Amino acid sequence: MEGSSNLVRDEMLQIVGDLKRHLSLQMPEMPWCKGSQEEAETGEGTVPPETGNALEHAETLEEVRAILGDCTRCRLHEKRQKIVFGQGNPRARLMFVGEGPGADEDRKGLAFVGKAGQLLTRIIAAIGLTREEVYIANIVKCRPPGNRDPREDEIRECIPFLKAQIRVIQPRIICTLGAPASKTLLNTTAPISRLRGRFHELEGIQVMPTYHPAYLLRNPEQKRPVWEDMQKVQALYRE
Ligand code: SF4
Q: Which residue's alpha carbon is at the smallest distance from atom 2 of ligand 1?
A: 158
Q: b/e for 144-171, b at 16 or more Cβ within 10 A?
A: beeeebbeeebbbbbbbbbbbbbebbeb
Higher pLDDT, 85 or 52: 85
pLDDT tens for each residue of 30-84? 333 333 333 433 334 457 778 888 999 999 999 999 999 999 999 999 999 999 9
The pLDDT of residue 157 is above 50: yes
Would you state the pLDDT for residue 51? 85
Give the model's confidence band at 86: pLDDT under 50 very low, under 70 low, under 90 confident, else very high: very high
pLDDT tens for each residue of 176-204? 999 999 999 999 999 999 999 999 999 99
Cα separation, 105 vs 72, in Å, equals 18
CA of 75 to the centre of ligand 1 (A): 8
User: Mean pLDDT across the stretch 105-134?
Assistant: 97
Per DSSP, 32 falls in state G
Would you state the pLDDT for residue 9? 57
User: Mean pLDDT across the stretch 125-143?
Assistant: 98
Would you state the pLDDT for residue 34? 36
Q: Tell me phi and psi for residue 210, to 5 degrees.
A: -150, 175
Contacts of 59 (CB under 8 A, 6+ apart): 168
CA of 147 to the centre of ligand 1 (A): 15
Cα separation, 96 vs 75, in Å, equals 25
User: Mean pLDDT across the stretch 112-122?
Assistant: 97
**Helices and strands, counts by H and E, the chain:** 11, 6
Looking at every residue in the chain, the average pLDDT score rounds to: 86
Would you state the pLDDT for residue 4? 56
| Residues near ligand 1 (Cβ within 6 A) | 68, 71-74, 76-77, 83, 140-142, 154, 157-158
Q: Tell me phi and psi for residue 2, to 5 degrees.
A: -65, -35
Would you state the pLDDT for residue 49? 79
Cα separation, 46 vs 63, in Å, equals 20
CA of 149 to the centre of ligand 1 (A): 14
Would you state the pLDDT for residue 48? 77
Give the atom of ligand 1 at the shortest distance from the alpha carbon of 100.
1
Element (H, E) at 38: helix 37-42
Give the model's confidence band at 15: pLDDT under 50 very low, under 70 low, under 90 confident, else very high: very low
The pLDDT of residue 11 is above 80: no
- SS3 category, 102: coil
